[in-house]
Amino acid sequence: MKLFPPSAAALLLSAALPLTVPAAYAADTTKKGYGQGTAVDGQNRPLSAAQFSQQYADLGAFALSRDDKRIIITFDQGYENGYTSKILDTLKEKNVQAIFFLTGDYAKKEPELVRRMIAEGHTLGNHGMTHASLPVLSEEAARDEIMSLHNYVMNNYGYQMQFFRCPCGEYSDAALETVQKCGYKTVFWSYAYVDWKTDAQPDKSEAMKKLCNSAHGGEILLLHSVSSTNAEILGDVIDALRAKGFTV
């Protein structure tokens, strides 16, 4: 089976995130919920994202990259709603590589789209085999949640994933440590808005305003490919972010 080398997006993100070493303490198992919050610093970066990245750098977990000229676009891929092909068309047209965080269900049901992501230079990220909340699992079960999908993607697509996104935005220090022990970095986000409700899609002009006004260096932007609004405005968003001087 052909093994795919790391994509351009994966190499860029690896360079943008600091090197880390395994933590040497007993990690807290308390479940926490991540959110970027609304307070920002003088560079328009959400304070919660910056604090998270600083607090958990030793566990290989980040919500911002250290490249203050770059915005990284990521998509959570839990299920297919017919918009991913259009999103991929736009990314190809705009010469942008994104990160697609796959669940096991998506990896198994959408081989054509997954292979297209790989072929067009995007990064595949691990979003859990069953999208289970890691903090409620035992360490053994959490490891299986991560590595069963890792091995499935390796065996079926010849692709080695290296970035994990915690399902439901839920984590604990112990869960982050488990992710790191599996050879992964945990990637949260520094901006997301409610775009995943397929029966209550945000207005396109309002979505554009949110995404442009929230732009900041080192941003890790979370979008959902099930959003019709995202699919429609993505090209305009990329153009607007570049017009602000960012590399996307």
CA-angle at 242, arms to 40 and 211, nearest 5°: 40
- Per the residue annotation, which of 127, 150, 216, 224 is the catalytic one? 224
Which two structure tokens, joined as six digits, stand for 194?
Answer: 């409610």
Concerning whether 68 is annotated as a catalytic residue, the answer is: no
Collect all residues with Cβ–Cβ distance below 8 Å to 242 and sequence separation of at least 6. Answer: 248
- Per the residue annotation, which of 41, 68, 76, 127 is the catalytic one? 76
169 conformational bin, left if phi > 0, alpha if psi -120 to 50, beta if neither: left
- Give the residue among 178, 162, 230 at the shortest CA–CA distance from 13: 162
Concerning whether 58 is annotated as a catalytic residue, the answer is: no
Give the up-direction half-sphere exposure of residue 90: CA atoms within 13 A in the CB hemisphere: 19
Q: Give the catalytic positions in this structure.
A: 76, 224
